[in-house]
Amino acid sequence: MRELGAQIAEDYADRDLLLVALLKASFVFLADLSRAIPITHKIDFVELAGYGDASTGGHSRVRLLQDTAIPLAGLDVLLVEDVVDTGLTLNYLCKLLTLRNPASLRVATLLDRPYRRLVEDLPVDYVGFTVPDEFFVGYGFDIDERWRNLPDLRLARV
């Protein structure tokens, strides 16, 4: 976490940084990442719902449930994701937020599975860990809203 925070602070020194986290799974990562970024920054949230066929690990459609409260125009926005898999949800959100004219838009993720991408050229700028195709619980990750509170990531036995 310290390494990610230091790199982000270096990249965004003297800029107006806004961290935008996707609820719910990324809230724990956001809290730790925010504390590891030693420069002034703002925090906001979005919440998305996926629906349709989830057989690929993503959803065929995405709906915005909660929008940012802070206007993005002119801000350097860093999306904070829990895990990037197919990239379908992240691609939707990047396109949506780009329409709001941020100064820049980049992505930080705790877990990355680049081998599962269905979206070409999806930029993921800061990666905590590249992980195998396993399901995790803890550290904000859940199964049916359970086990988010575990202090670390654990392989789920589903």
User: Residue 96 belongs to a domain with what CATH number?
Assistant: 3.40.50.2020
Average pLDDT, the chain: 92
Q: State the average pLDDT over residues 5-17.
A: 97
Q: Specify the pTM.
A: 0.90
Q: State the average pLDDT over residues 20-47.
A: 97
3-state helix, strand, coil in the chain (%, to 5): 20, 35, 45
Residue 121 bears catalytic tag: no
Q: Which residue among the candidates 76, 82, 85, 112 is catalytic per the annotation?
A: 85
| Cβ-proximal residues to 119 (8 Å cutoff; 6+ apart), any chain | 86, 87, 88, 90, 91
- pLDDT confidence bin for 61, thresholds 50/70/90: confident
Q: Would you tell me the crossing angle of helices 27-36 and 2-11 to the nearest 10 degrees?
A: 70
Name the residue range of residue 139's domain: 2-155
Backbone angles phi, psi at 33, to 5 degrees: -65, -45
Q: How many domains does the chain divide into?
A: 1
**H or E element: which one contains 45?**
strand 41-51
Q: State the average pLDDT over residues 64-81.
A: 97
Q: State the average pLDDT over residues 28-43.
A: 98
As a whole number of angstroms, the distance between CA 61 and CA 51 comes to 5
Backbone angles phi, psi at 104, to 5 degrees: -155, 160
Q: Which of 42-56, 75-89, 113-127, 130-144 is predicted with the least confidence, judged by mean pLDDT?
A: 42-56
Q: State the average pLDDT over residues 124-146.
A: 94
With 60 as the cut, is the pLDDT of residue 148 above it? yes
